[in-house]
Amino acid sequence: MGNLNLDPKHLFNQVGEHFNQMVAPKLMKTDIVETKTQYLVDVDLPGFKKRHLHVDYREDTLRIAAKYEAAGTVENSSDHLMLQERLTEDLSRAFYLPNVDRDKIEATFEDGVLHLSLPKINQDGEGMHNIPIE
């Protein structure tokens, strides 16, 4: 039997690490609908702004990244920061969506939801194509 560390601080850190591993993938909830002519992708990104997002398509894969760093200061020197969970957020996901016409991909971001339309073509695309978000 290995060493069992019952120090409350150690246990709390371990629980926090496992909680983050379970919850992090759920933060970028995504719906993908495939039709005969396109893929429609909706991604929930609450709390992010358009400037925090990066979307690209390469090697038949759609990649979505969202990252921000918040200011972690307390206004008043007499105040005490008890919990800080919103200092940074860095999420990313990738989805295999083959045969997309890279030049016709459209992206919009409204009310914390990223909407993507990826029209299909019959040939495999190569290279990378950055997607502007309106």
Average pLDDT, the chain: 80
The answer to whether residue 48 sits within a structural domain is: yes
The answer to whether residue 23 sits within a structural domain is: no
The answer to whether residue 64 sits within a structural domain is: yes
By the 8 A CB rule, do 16 and 23 touch? no
The answer to whether residue 19 sits within a structural domain is: no
Residue 43's domain spans which residues? 29-72+84-130
128: Cα within 13 Å, side-chain hemisphere: 5
Report the C-alpha gap between 129 and 56 in whole angstroms.
6
- Residues 65-101: pLDDT tens digits? 999 876 655 555 667 767 666 667 789 999 999 999 9
Please count the structural domains in the chain: 1
Question: The domain spanning residue 65 has which CATH number?
Answer: 2.60.40.790
The answer to whether residue 115 sits within a structural domain is: yes
The answer to whether residue 65 sits within a structural domain is: yes
Residue 59 pLDDT > 90: yes
Q: pTM, whole model, 2 decimals? A: 0.65
How many residues does the structure list for the chain?
A: 134
- Residues 10-50: pLDDT tens digits? 555 555 555 544 544 557 899 999 999 999 999 999 888 99
